[in-house]
Amino acid sequence: MNEIDKLREELKQTQLAYQMAAQMSQFKAGFLARTSHELRSPLSSMIGLHQLILSDLCESPEEQKEFIAQAYHSALKLMKLIDEIVAVSKTEYGSNRLHLESLQLTEIFTEIERLTHLPAANRNFKLKIIHPDPGVRVFADRSRIIQLIFNLVDSGISLMETGTIKLSTTEITDNTVTIQIDLDCPTALWQETTIIEPNFDSKDPTQIRQFLQEIGLSASMKLLLSQTLLETMGGSLKLLDCSAQNKQSLTRLVLTCKKQ
């Protein structure tokens, strides 16, 4: 390689490094903004519940115990969210190494079905999982790919009011496998990041209870976490609104995975 070729290679590497830095900067800005909203949600729930107790608004010792249990549940949700954020952050920066291997996709679908069939049945949703040919394999970290697909399906279950959840493969090339998740819910719900702020000056237990019922972890954070995890494994995740062509609310998640 002569000097000109070396300079061209160095320039190419510099341009690539710049593009990666720009993408990381953009990712960090959106990630931090959404994370701040998500962390406030269970924390606000805990504060609201403690306000009820400290203001002597509990109607009985049993209700006070119930509020304490709900606050404990919110604390667990907060801890789980922090763990997920830390795990993604470590993976993104390479400190939490992925164990990439060739995986049978139908085995992954089987595990997703095991994890989601009861939540779907409890909400009277139809769970339709179309298994691919046993020979179809993806190159990914097993626990991570299961985690991100489960998070997406589970978020869909929480957003849907009625309908069907469909998991299938749609395209297989020499290098990639496309996984598709269809959910009967508006796409806008996946982009909602607004957190309702409580009125802590209010002493009305009805208003506080209403606030506690309304708040919750948004699907947008799980979507962002899943997208980031898939990108670290060389894949991609797209959110599509297919409502017009189906004449009803339909969100389509398209996951592209590397194929070994």
In terms of Cβ atoms closer than 10 Å to its own Cβ (0-12, 13-18, 19+), residue 9 is exposed
Cα angle 175-179-182, degrees, rounded to a multiple of 5: 160
The pTM of the full predicted model, rounded to 2 decimals, is 0.62
What is the per-residue pLDDT for 215? 39
Q: Please say whether the beta carbons of 41 and 216 come within 8 A.
A: yes
We find that the CATH architecture of domain 3-258 is 2-Layer Sandwich (3.30)
Per-residue pLDDT of the chain (260 residues; tens, 9 = 90+): 577 777 776 776 566 555 545 555 555 555 566 566 667 778 888 888 888 888 888 889 999 999 999 888 888 888 877 877 776 666 555 555 678 899 999 999 999 999 888 888 888 999 999 999 999 999 999 988 998 898 899 888 888 888 999 999 998 898 999 999 999 988 888 875 444 444 444 445 555 444 444 434 467 777 877 887 888 888 999 999 998 776 788 999 999 999 87
Residue 119 confidence (pLDDT)? 84
Q: Which residue has the tokens 């000056």?
A: 201
The order of strands in the sheet holding 164-172 is 126-129, 164-172, 176-183, 251-258, 236-241
Q: What is the DSSP letter of 201?
A: T
pLDDT number for residue 217: 47
Structure confidence at residue 157 (pLDDT):
87
Q: pLDDT at position 213, please?
A: 43
pLDDT at residue number 218: 63
pLDDT on residue 223 = 83
What is residue 7's predicted lDDT score, i.e. its pLDDT? 75
Q: What radius of gyration, in Å, describes the C-alpha atoms of the chain?
A: 22
Kindly state the helix (H) or strand (E) to which residue 179 belongs, with its residue range. Answer: strand 176-183
Helices (runs of H) and strands (runs of E) counted in the chain: 7, 7
